[in-house]
A and B are shown apart, each in its own frame.
Chain A
């Protein structure tokens, strides 16, 4: 290998890539915009529907209202509940989401609640199980009933000469003892590596194919093969550029991610706080994840280049790369499954090992032996992929496939 000529080739490919709109969009523009847009978009949608719900309130129906006049009055005065006139077709209305819930009072409900009996009266709350807005209505109605129940209990206790303390012989209290980053890591630990792996792959996709199948398609492959540069120099120079694109994508998306969630003036931060999503991740955790990504980026770049070299056109190359993307995303996604944790066997599975180890590292765990195993195996895969790309470039039957 001649380092001077590798450098010359790298420099040329860099100029070329910087002028390729598709490469710029996928390596720089997309990863910058991804996190702000995702969070802002998500936040906005959530906020909008929340406001809408608050403004409109939940429409509910009271059946047998005369059996509970006092309670009915309280319900009518409750914010967020809008009572409509009773009708027979409440089941249909709830199913069609025109009505959120219907409350049915049994005969003589309020009178019976004043008496003790071994068979207390029962209120039915008809609802749409699993439908968010129906559940909100149910929760609001239950709150009214809770208050009423407490009031009745207090009255009964007073009649028997007892205080409320009698109902509470002891108390419990939960306290978080894990560092905040561990809590944050748990929530984001699965999602974060998934996104970075995805972006790393996407970042190398366009240049890997453009620099290989693109050269075949545009007929420049013979031009460059006729130059004194050796095939090894060519493939290494090209690989380095694709690898650069992959790393740039990862760095840019990390920076965008960090800024989106840490700049106080961004809505996303407020949103995260309001919804109590812990987004604090340690700098050392992020740096470790980045180190773990390096062999993965090498492997992606090399595999995609091998595919591009084999393909006759960029279209053919993209058609091979798309199913590969699923193959990469599935193990990356698996890391998001709670309780699916790293072990020695999983440490040998490419992509999955890096996403699982990232989850550990982001939650502040450093299982050194497993980390070493993941690092070694993923560098092994990277080296294998790279030698595949090099040998593809040296094979006439691949470069001049008919």
Chain B
């Protein structure tokens, strides 16, 4: 469960001016559902998701993630979240096994439990063939699988994906999309950002349209269609953004 209330993030630019990257966002995302944050480049998606993952601290407002407040208990939040983005690279000099075990240990797993969990994930994702090779020697697809194993090692109830398919080839992107669906069917709370309409349309149960830091519209695809009287998500998006003050 994710519940954001009036979430706001203001950055200082070089001249000392304010950049309102996220501006009073409120929404709710339930277990077993995928919430899609749809927005153009610079809309504030990354900032919003970093706030939820407690990588950044909000300037105003707050959110509860998996029952913990992001301001009060950020470490607890992170222990219940799997965060994956194109900016979350792997340590090139570690092997797949070392990587997954490292994040497992940071999440409090050790001994037999950690070994069993690693084996389970490696079998599930087909990592065994390259489990003991260094990450910098692996292909993008292989790295993607290790990243997924890394986010899943502590079996978090909440998953946050920031444009996870950006720059990936078709096969690697399919792996990720399949993985996101899988998370939903396991009853996890999933939030996901993208600027690709088709991807959001295919995957998401709820869609939030974000523009210049503000959440302009939110609801299921059916609700958005009804409200805007448009069938196509792209048309819905353009109409919503153009209607904004």
Contacts and interface: CB of A to CB of B under 8 A. Distances in A.
A199 B56 CA distance: 37
Contacts of A226: 53, 55, 78, 81, 83, 88
A22 B192 CA distance: 39
Interface of B: 12, 50, 53, 55-57, 75-76, 78-79, 81, 83, 85, 87-94, 98, 102-103, 105-108, 134, 150
Contacts of A5: 106
A223 interface: yes
A12 B93 CA distance: 10
Contacts of B103: 227
A222 B53 CA distance: 10
Nearest to A7: B105
B107 A223 contact: no
B93 A228 contact: no
B94 A222 contact: no
B79 A228 contact: yes
A182 to B, nearest CB: 48
A8 B102 CA distance: 7
Contacts of A227: 78, 103, 106-107
Contacts of A173: none
Decide if the interface of chain A is mainly helix, strand, loop or mixed: helix
A400 B87 CA distance: 12
A124 interface: no
Contacts of B106: 5, 8-9, 227-229
Nearest to A210: B93
Contacts of B105: 8
Contacts of A8: 102, 105-106
Contact of A222 (B76, B85, B93, B108): B85
27 contacts: A5-B106, A8-B102, A8-B105, A8-B106, A9-B106, A12-B91, A12-B94, A12-B98, A15-B93, A15-B94, A16-B93, A19-B134, A20-B93, A218-B92, A219-B88, A219-B89, A220-B88, A220-B90, A222-B50, A223-B89, A223-B91, A226-B55, A226-B83, A227-B103, A228-B78, A228-B106, A228-B108
